[in-house]
Chain A
Amino acid sequence: MDQSRADRLDRRQFLAGVGTAALIISGTAVIHTNEAWGVEVKNLKPETMRTLIKMARDIYPHDRVADRFYAIAMKSYDAKAGTDPQTKTTVEQGVAQLDALARKQHGVAYVDVGWEAERVALLRQMQGEAFFQSVRGGLVVSLYNQKEVWPSFGYEGESASRGGYIKRGFDDIAWL
């Protein structure tokens, strides 16, 4: 799995002229205007990557987890699309299908559907599809296996190098 961080872009590169939307497309990159990062997209359409990132949060929404972790989790699709034409087709077609569904029911593309509940309802209609299952199945590892995301859940990760918990609170519960 690709755990590399999303490419960071200099704020000055995009500060001018962006709107209020957090995720915008600039050339071949998806830019996050609030968190100051961008993902260079080489093999998929940048719009597709933006939709995947939105979709990732809608599948596993954690309000205390920043968008960049969802971007990191989905970034590997771009690399995989470069080496595996089947992946590229599945992802592009899947996103196109999702957008078509969104346009039919809401008149706008998936990322522009305003409410999470409405987007989730669209995903529910697609959850039997191989595209959705592949995205969800990959995401359950690529999101939750990021060490940087663990502190948001209080999880402490490896402990042996710090001597385990024998002197660090294995039995420190005080409220019982």
Chain B
Amino acid sequence: MDAKYDLNDDSVVVIIGSGAGGGTLANELSQKNIKVVVLEAGKRFGIGDFINDEWDSFVQLAWSDMRTTSGSWRVHRDFPNIPAWIVKAVGGSTVHWAGASLRFQEHEFKARSAYGAIQGASLLDWPITLQELEPYYAKAEDKMGVTRTNGIPGLPGNNNFKVMAAGATKVGYKGVHTGRMAINSQPRDGRGACQQIGFCFQGCLSGAKWSTLYTEIPKGEETGKLEVRPESHVAQIEHDAGGKVTGVVYFDKGGQQQRQKARAVCVAGNSIETPRLLLLSQSSKFPNGLANSSGQVGRNYMRHMTGSVYAVFDRPVHMWRGTTMAGIVTDESAHNPKRGFVGGYELETLSLGLPFMAAFLDPGAWGREFTSALDGYENMAGMWLVGEDMPQESNRITLDPTAKDKWGLPVASVHFDDHPNDVAMRNHAYKAGTAVYEAVGATRAFPTPPYPSTHNLGTCRMSENPRDGVCNKFGQTHDLKNLFISDGSQFTTGGAENPTLTIVSLAIRQADYIAEQMGKNAI
């Protein structure tokens, strides 16, 4: 039975956001008998509401509230008000994520030590190690049903995977398989097996893909401890004179302003909205925004080194059929500075439907050079390149000085410039991806620029020293002990891997910590 809490109930934990971080944390806390209110800005959809159509689905699910951009990244030129492609709905971006679930590598938790000082980069070691996180990775993999863990077989390879795998094997890569995917290859946890529908990014119509929308959140609600309030946009986090958080102010479904009191507040609005909310919550006691004594809130915004390679062959591929990202080459993920950059990257299968291919293959391009590429769509294979990007203090989320949202609040402004290391890695990855496809007869390859960001990380990073970051190794802010960061904003550095598994693992760990702190009346 769903819980229903009073606005003045100051014993609840308020979680802002319901995605990989917030949704998981909500379930974990409610399983521990802790009262939880989730405030989610988006609507609540059911599995059957999803749409196998790229633009219609984008309109349904994407976070399209106004944002602004600056910097030398091409997204600023091509999509100036869509810096990120993330979801505004219950379940957050776990509704549209691809399902790739990879653990970070040991050295990636110690990026500053492993890579040394990199000019222009604000590298820092995480305050936790792989060993500390391993038990939580194991819990997360079991919870999410990750293939190739817990005895779960890998997904079958689709056409797009077969092309990549054949090429990768020919060029000598060894770590080639259909990935560690939080998509059921066989029925598990009350959900069926993948039907190879495609459209993983549009919401999984079979429910085979793990999403907090239909796993963590209903499980939490079954405890009777969790109340989820959709269409509730948080505008401010409030605190008392002693520096403790007391609750949040939000706009409800009807646009009415409400104030929910809270014992603790956990922010999981993804790495653009999370720092925006802390900055919007400035007060006379915290004039630079909440939890910002370090000045690090909003800084070190990371989006992963990304790019894609699409290639056309002389015969059909039908890359869009089947699981979008069930295919990986891991050989380039190690740290091997001989390649001319630090950190590593993964090659993962990817496809876009024709409408998105037209929009994203080479944004702004026109004429026959462009259209002849689309004429080869049926014969196209595709892969995504995703690797560690360098944190930089100047890559940051700020409050736009002029643009306001529909509630009159300053919108987030996202500044991003590639670091030279990101550029070197991307160029290496373009060559590697092209070589894979040329090995199996590609007649033309397209190094495709990064899309609006799907992996938004690092804007409230965890640090050992309060001077260097916003929160400690449990996501607890250094400045306010009952305020937590519960999403990818915590990441000290980005690693090469898709971040969701790490976000979920950190949320499980954070739930243990919050319960312990509440048990000791420390918060």
Contacts and interface: CB of A to CB of B under 8 A. Distances in A.
B449 interface: no
Classify the secondary structure of A's interface with B.
Answer: loop
A171 B368 contact: no
A163 interface: yes
A61 interface: yes
Given A155-B320, A169-B318, A160 B156 contact: no
Contacts of A127: 366
A172 interface: yes
B283 interface: no
A59 B368 CA distance: 8
B53 interface: yes
Given A120-B367, A140-B358, A154-B318, A165 B377 contact: no
B166 interface: yes
A166 interface: yes
Interface string A22-63: 000000000000000000000000000000000000011110
Interface string B151-187: 0000011110011001000000000000000000000
A98 to B, nearest CB: 15
Contact of A160 (B158, B205, B375): B205
A138 to B, nearest CB: 12
Given A150-B354, A169-B321, A159 B157 contact: no
B374 A153 contact: yes
B55 A141 contact: yes
A160 B197 contact: yes
Given A140-B359, A153-B374, A173 B163 contact: yes
Given A154-B377, A165-B322, A173-B159, A159 B354 contact: no
Nearest to B368: A61
B321 A60 contact: no
B378 A170 contact: no
How many residues of A sit at the interface, in one of the four size bands? Answer: 35 or more
How many residues of B sit at the interface, in one of the four size bands? Answer: 35 or more
A115 interface: no
B371 interface: yes
B81 to A, nearest CB: 13
A160 B206 contact: yes
Nearest to B48: A160
B315 interface: yes
A164 B322 CA distance: 7
Contacts of A60: 366, 370-371
B372 to A, nearest CB: 9
A16 interface: no
A144 interface: yes
Nearest to A150: B354
7 contacts: A143-B358, A165-B197, A166-B322, A170-B158, A170-B196, A173-B317, A176-B440
10 nearest CB pairs, A to B: A154-B378, A158-B52, A164-B195, A170-B322, A164-B197, A144-B358, A170-B196, A155-B354, A165-B321, A160-B205
Interface of A: 59-62, 64, 120, 127, 136, 140-141, 143-145, 150, 153-161, 163-166, 168-173, 175-176
Interface of B: 51-53, 55, 156-159, 162-163, 166, 194-199, 205-206, 315-318, 320-322, 353-355, 357-359, 364, 366-368, 370-371, 374-375, 377-378, 440
